[in-house]
Amino acid sequence: MLVINVSRIPPEGLGVEESLEPGEVHLEGEESFTLAPGGRLESRLERAEDDSVHVRGTLSARLRLQCGRCLESFELPVEQDLDLFYLRRRHDDQDGEEDEVELSDRDMVVAYYDGDRLDLGEMVREQFFLTVPLKRLCREECRGLCPACGANRNQVRCACPPEPAASPFGSLRSLFEDKDR
């Protein structure tokens, strides 16, 4: 189980070795990628006197994605070293209004947990989103789909004529064509 009761972390620390399931890492209903079987989280949690938790370890998994050019599915390996700090979230807001807050350098590298529960599944989910590239390609030299016939250019060579290069000045062509007549 990936939900840790912080008050039960012993002084010598707590080892966590878990296989990863989509439900435990909050990926149910996620449409941009799926978690392939066989993922693992191996970590050590250490609690300090101020109830901060230091998480160190490794995350290894495979994510299934869809290529942005050819639409074929492919797997992205995730091998991530973890070195994260968690603080208990303070609920100092009495009147329900949010104030403008200036973030310190420490706030930029620290995450927060609520109550006495640290959800490592949420941490794993965040690491997956940070790992997934913005431009999802099955391989860098992916040729994509033919815009005319839809054939996967990585698998077949279609007989469609090559696309004419679009000119940024194409809309000005009509101005010059009218003067030539």
Domain range summary for the chain, segments of one domain joined by +: 3-91+100-131, 143-181
**Tens-place pLDDT, residues 2-57:** 889 988 999 999 999 999 988 788 887 788 899 999 999 999 999 988 888 999 99
DSSP state of 172: G
Q: How far from the centroid of its chain's Cα atoms is residue 145's Cα?
A: 25
Residues 6+ apart with CB under 8 A from 103: none
**Tens-place pLDDT, residues 119-160:** 998 899 999 999 999 999 999 999 999 988 999 999 999 888
DSSP string, 71-120: --EEEEEEEEEEEEEEEEPP---SSSPPPP-PPPHHHHHEEEEBTTEEEH
Q: Provide the whole-model pTM.
A: 0.74
* Location of structure tokens 């990585």: 154
